Amino acid sequence: MRKKSFPLWIFLFLFFCKQAWGLTGLGFGVRGGMIRDYKNDNLNLIPTQDENWLKEMPLVGVHLKIGTLRVVHFEASVEYAWKETEIVLENLATTEFSVNDLSLNATAKYVFAVPVLKPYAGAGLGMHRLVYGISNEEYSIFIPEDQNKMGFHAVGGLLLSFPASPIEFFAEARYTSIQTAGESTRYTTILGGLTLNLP
């Protein structure tokens, strides 16, 4: 009897949570974009051939949207950014050096009540796993240690949605500051994506 009543308790719990928190819907989606002007002081001593190699860095990810009010969306996302460049070694040989940023992010967005094309603004925080690598480890050059650091971000964008469609499109600009040693790591991200809202 207890096993049969367990799904009923789950249903009642979710029902009353929905009423209490004003849950308007869930959605999940994909995203992609480009990081611009990645500034990380830990990389200043890397002997790269291209001084502007961190001008752009590709980014991909997935997200979960949780609507609690008609104008407020909470969003959880996982994003991955990466970049490689050639570095010059002591014997004038070259090898590949890579930077990777895997982040878990939480963002609150205030969506302005406009019928179709809705502007929004928000802020949030993330945990960033920064990984640095060299393809040949025999050479003694400075490589930053891999690290987990907290980051903060502010966002602004446009949300395109239609009343009869479960799919939303968005375009977003985001400024991020990661609390790395010394000066914080800072960059701007231009990204876009789509969200499939669940019924």
E runs forming strands in the chain? 25-39, 56-67, 72-88, 94-111, 117-134, 147-161, 167-178, 185-197
At which residue do the structure tokens 């979710």 appear?
A: 14
Note the pLDDT of residue 140: 60
Q: Where is mean pLDDT largest: 15-19, 52-56, 108-112, 170-174?
A: 170-174
pLDDT digits (tens, 9 = 90+) for 107-126: 999 988 777 899 999 999 99
pTM, two decimals, is 0.81
What domains are there in the chain, each with its CATH number? 24-197 (2.40.160.20)
